[in-house]
Amino acid sequence: MFKKKKGLTAVFLIACMSLFLAACGGQEAGGKKSGSGGGDKLVGGTEATFAPFESLNDKGEIVGIDVDVLSAIAEAQGFEFELKNVGWEPVFQKITNGELDFGVAGITITDERKETYDFTEPYYQANLVIIVKEGSDIKSVDDLKDKKVAVQINTTGHKAAQDILGKSNTNIKAYENQPTAMQQVRNGSAEAAIGDNAVVFEYLKNNKNTGLKVIEDASFEKEYYGIMVKKGNKEVLDQLNEGLKKIKENGKLAEITGQELN
Ligand code: ARG
């Protein structure tokens, strides 16, 4: 008798949950359910100060490797998308609350993020580097322990700084974006910055005579970028992964990134 009652409760709970999920589904950002045009348009978010992956051109349009990868995927799959420059932390928040279908922002696939989000297969391999002033006595990760280190907030660079200096060390200075973190080394507010390699090299290419140099340290592990969706959003994830597989196979991805991913 008792057992039976328990079973019924479970059935009732599941029914409630499905109703709840159905209700939530209507508010999702894009997908098939809503979207202004009522079409298949997916809505994504990014933080566009991260050249060569995403930055704003003269017309204020978001351009870069991530946009090209996404466009190629969308073309292969036949869906439309809109990409919004919402800022780094909002990318995560807005995917969680359903305002965005996905995030593409040079986002490293990490075990911690995988607890809350799902990622596509990797589309780019990266690693962190250290940025210091030319003539600095910092030579490696070990020399950072008692230095002021600037990072972009809640990035893998931030996490690396916490691992090196200690999680709540006030010498870690966290900023909204990576260029601002590098700027701190330039103006002397920080002695080093930690950031994603391709973005650092692009910054130095675009800003001559910064007086900055790069230190590569083998202790930074390889990172892989993936497109991120809310955990369990299989529909969008499958769509992205299928397209990604196609552009890996036909050589389009390598053409865009200049990188051969296995
Ligand atoms: N790859 C690093 C991470 O995932 C940094 C990404 C920052 N991206 C950006 N568009 N600002 O933590």
Question: Could you read off the pLDDT of 169-197 as tens digits, one per residue?
Answer: 999 999 999 999 999 999 999 999 999 99
Would you say the CB of residue 156 lies under 6 angstroms from ligand 1?
A: yes
CA distance 21 to 175: 36
From the CA of 154, give the closest atom in ligand 1.
12
In this structure, the number of other CB atoms found within 10 A of the CB of residue 242 comes to 13
Average pLDDT on 236-257 reads 98
Instruction: Write out the residue range of the structural domain in which residue 251 sits.
Output: 41-125+223-257
Q: Do residue 238 and residue 119 come from a single domain?
A: yes
The amino acid occupying position 141 is V
Q: Is residue 35 part of a domain?
A: no
Would you say the CB of residue 202 lies under 6 angstroms from ligand 1?
A: no
Residue nearest to atom 7 of ligand 1 (CA): 106
pLDDT higher than threshold 50 for residue 241: yes
Question: Could you read off the pLDDT of 59-104 as tens digits, one per residue?
Answer: 999 999 999 999 999 999 999 999 999 999 999 999 999 999 999 9
What is the number of structural domains in the chain? 2
Q: Do residue 121 and residue 235 come from a single domain?
A: yes
What would you report as the CA-atom Rg of the chain, rounded to the nearest whole angstrom? 21
Q: What is the pLDDT of residue 12?
A: 42
Would you give the end-to-end CA distance of the chain in angstroms?
A: 58
CA distance 80 to 102: 13
Distance 223 CA to ligand 1 centre (A): 11
Distance 29 CA to ligand 1 centre (A): 22
Global pTM? 0.87
Distance 54 CA to ligand 1 centre (A): 11
Distance 51 CA to ligand 1 centre (A): 11
CA distance 74 to 162: 37
3-state secondary structure of 130: strand
Q: Candidates 50, 124, 127, 158: which one to mutate for ligand 1, based on the most atoms within 8 Å of Cβ?
A: 50
Calculate what percentage of the chain has a pLDDT beyond 90.
84
231 contacts 117 by C-beta, under 8 angstroms: yes
Question: Could you read off the pLDDT of 134-165 as tens digits, one per residue?
Answer: 999 999 999 999 999 999 999 999 999 999 99
3-state secondary structure of 219: coil
Give the chain's mean pLDDT.
Answer: 89
Q: What is the pLDDT of residue 244?
A: 98
Does an H or E element contain 201, and which? helix 197-206
Q: Do residue 132 and residue 211 come from a single domain?
A: yes
Q: Do residue 235 and residue 117 come from a single domain?
A: yes
Q: Do residue 144 and residue 112 come from a single domain?
A: no
Would you say the CB of residue 220 lies under 6 angstroms from ligand 1?
A: no
Q: What is the CATH number of the domain that holds 55?
A: 3.40.190.10
Of 53, 49, 69, 66, the C-alpha closest to 198 is: 53
Average pLDDT on 195-200 reads 98
